[in-house]
């Protein structure tokens, strides 16, 4: 099957394990398997999902101590939910936006495959803690921004990978420190894999955001502020992982602006 259509089919899958397997199967993409120009449509509600976990407002997600088994499971469940949503957003970036270079679609198919690996590692580790994905309530902030930027690929690249996903670069090291103190070294190792790959994912967002700005004659820094206000992007607060952000392609000007 043509791979942008296959990405849409994977996005429509409801069962998380099946979705992750479908996403991993799409990468690496065979040659001449991507139709960059076809405009795809669907009448279905996206993404496909089951009724678990129950979705609640971000403020309704309970904060738990990572020093209890239940609290540690809840924390890792929250990360697993982010990774499942990251599969969805990568697949959405592939099928929704026509007319981009083939390399763009290959990049986002790679992201979908790696996010699927992250979800799988977390789901399997949750099982060792006596829990399954879906056992705790979750919120849908990452997908909400995906919906808000559905009509603007430049906004999508600006505000999903290089804003919301980039927060994972900042949040992961402190989370690892808490898990290390709690004695969950397997979780720390899984987060090492996730952090390594997420640097690459944010770099992909940066690359295509700048490519789009150059194509359209836009200043990347100034236009980011316009998009952030237009689509209600969250205000970013410290701490910031400057080293990881530099590795992901943020300029010094952009990193300096974080402090403002």
List the beta bridge partners of residue 138: 55
Domain architecture of the chain: domains with CATH: 3-42+68-258 (1.20.1260)
Say if residue 250's pLDDT is above 70: yes
CA angle 249, 123, 248 (to 5 degrees): 5
What pLDDT is recorded for position 208?
98
Least confident of 69-78, 117-126, 238-247, 250-259: 250-259
CA angle 153, 156, 160 (to 5 degrees): 160
- Integer Cα distance of 66 and 182 in angstroms: 7
- Integer Cα distance of 131 and 77 in angstroms: 9
Q: Where are the alpha helices (DSSP H) in the chain?
A: 3-12, 16-25, 69-96, 102-128, 141-148, 153-159, 166-181, 185-216, 220-231, 242-247, 252-258
Question: pLDDT-derived band of residue 61, with 50, 70 and 90 as boundaries?
Answer: confident
| pLDDT, tens digit, 9 for 90 and up, residues 73-99 | 999 999 999 999 999 999 999 999 999
- Integer Cα distance of 47 and 36 in angstroms: 22
- Integer Cα distance of 2 and 146 in angstroms: 23
Question: pLDDT-derived band of residue 58, with 50, 70 and 90 as boundaries?
Answer: confident
Tokens read off for 164: 């919301």
What pLDDT is recorded for position 253?
92
| pLDDT, tens digit, 9 for 90 and up, residues 165-218 | 999 999 999 999 999 999 999 999 999 999 999 999 999 999 999 999 999 999
| pLDDT, tens digit, 9 for 90 and up, residues 119-177 | 999 999 999 999 999 999 998 888 999 999 999 999 999 999 999 999 999 999 999 99
The residues near 237 (Cβ < 8 Å, ≥ 6 apart) are: none
What pLDDT is recorded for position 258?
84
Looking at every residue in the chain, the average pLDDT score rounds to 95
Helix (H, G, I), strand (E, B) or coil at 15: coil
Please report, in angstroms and rounded to a whole number, the separation of the first and last CA atoms in the chain: 47
- Integer Cα distance of 148 and 159 in angstroms: 10
What pLDDT is recorded for position 259?
65
- Integer Cα distance of 36 and 197 in angstroms: 25
Tokens read off for 252: 């010094």
- Max CA distance (Å), the chain: 53
Which of 8, 249, 14, 23 shows the shortest CA–CA distance to 118? 23
**How does DSSP classify residue 55?**
B
Say if residue 260's pLDDT is above 70: no
What pLDDT is recorded for position 257?
87
- Integer Cα distance of 243 and 131 in angstroms: 34
């Amino acid at each position: 099957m043509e791979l942008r259509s296959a990405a849409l089919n994977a996005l429509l899958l409801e069962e998380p394990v099946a979705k992750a397997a479908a996403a991993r199967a799409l990468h690496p993409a065979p040659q001449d398997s991507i139709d960059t120009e076809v405009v795809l449509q669907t009448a279905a509600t996206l993404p496909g999902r089951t009724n678990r976990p129950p979705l609640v407002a971000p403020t309704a997600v309970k904060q738990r101590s990572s020093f209890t088994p239940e609290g540690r499971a809840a924390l890792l469940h929250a990360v697993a939910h982010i990774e499942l949503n990251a599969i969805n957003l990568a697949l959405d970036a592939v099928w929704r936006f026509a007319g981009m270079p083939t390399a763009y679609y290959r990049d986002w198919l790679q992201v979908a495959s790696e996010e699927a690996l992250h979800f799988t590692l977390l789901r399997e580790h949750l099982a060792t803690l006596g829990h399954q994905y879906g056992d705790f309530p979750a919120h849908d902030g990452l997908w909400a921004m995906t919906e808000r930027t559905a009509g603007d690929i430049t906004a999508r690249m600006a505000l999903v990978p290089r804003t919301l996903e980039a927060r994972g670069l900042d949040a992961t090291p402190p989370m690892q420190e808490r898990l290390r103190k709690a004695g969950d070294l397997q979780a720390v190792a899984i987060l090492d894999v996730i952090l390594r790959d997420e640097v690459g994912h944010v770099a992909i967002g940066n690359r295509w955001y700048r490519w789009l700005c150059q194509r359209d004659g836009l200043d990347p820094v100034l236009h980011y502020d316009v998009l952030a206000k237009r689509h209600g992007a969250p205000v970013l607060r410290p701490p910031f992982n400057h080293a990881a952000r530099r590795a992901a392609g943020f300029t010094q000007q952009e990193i300096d602006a974080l402090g403002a």
